[in-house]
Amino acid sequence: MPWESDDLVPLRALANPLRIRIVSLLTGASMSATEVARELDIAHASASYHLRQLAEAGFLEQVDEQPARGGRGRPRRCYRYDHSSRMRLDRSGSRPLYEAMFVDLARRLERAHGRRTSMDAEVWLDGPVWEEVVGLIDQAVAMVHDKARPPRSDGSVKVSMTALLLEMGDT
């Protein structure tokens, strides 16, 4: 796989707030460049370029969907989020990636309304308690990814989730 030889190459692919939005969008459904462009209000060429870059870096996988009801023509080229890529992000420590995440988080905060929950703490926990907290956040992240729906699905609510747990040194 491309990231095994150089972890920085795929992380640079995500060090762009627009690409973070694209990955988030494709968590709930596979979409074509046209659909991504429409949803994010960007040019088709830009969406296509960013989708290819994210796929080459291993964050998206290409899935070709057959035309509806025996339609003719070539399959639609769609992309979806590759859930296995999350493990690379957990190991990365990439400053440009975190800077891009913070830029996108600021965009999300500007648009947020309705229910919100957040917390910030730098505390000492017993080891087993820390492991339980990490496990609960892992479960929440998995649930958000597993239950994500296509944009604007009936009965769906657009949400944003950012989770960052850091085990600190003792100094």
Residue-range domain boundaries for the chain: 2-147
- Does residue 70 register a pLDDT over 70? no
Phi, psi of 63 (to 5 degrees): -130, 125
Write out the chain in H/E/C secondary structure: CHHHHCCHHHHHHHCCHHHHHHHHHCCCCCEEHHHHHHHHCCCHHHHHHHHHHHHHCCCEEEEEECCHHHCCCCCEEEEEECHHHHHHHHHHCCHHHHHHHHHHHHHHHHHCCCCCCCCCCCCCCCHHHHHHHHHHHHHHHHHHHHHCCCCCCCCCCCCCCCCCCCCCCCC
Tell me the one-letter amino acid at 56: E
Measured N-to-C along each axis, helices 44-56 and 17-25 cross at an angle, to the nearest 10 degrees, of 80
Instruction: Report pLDDT for 87.
Output: 63
Statement: the pTM of the whole predicted model exceeds 0.95? no
What is the percent of the chain with per-residue pLDDT over 70, rounded to a whole number? Answer: 82
Q: Higher confidence at residue 28 or residue 133?
A: 133
Looking at the domain 2-147, which fold is it?
Arc Repressor Mutant, subunit A (1.10.10)
What is the percent of the chain with per-residue pLDDT over 90, rounded to a whole number? Answer: 31
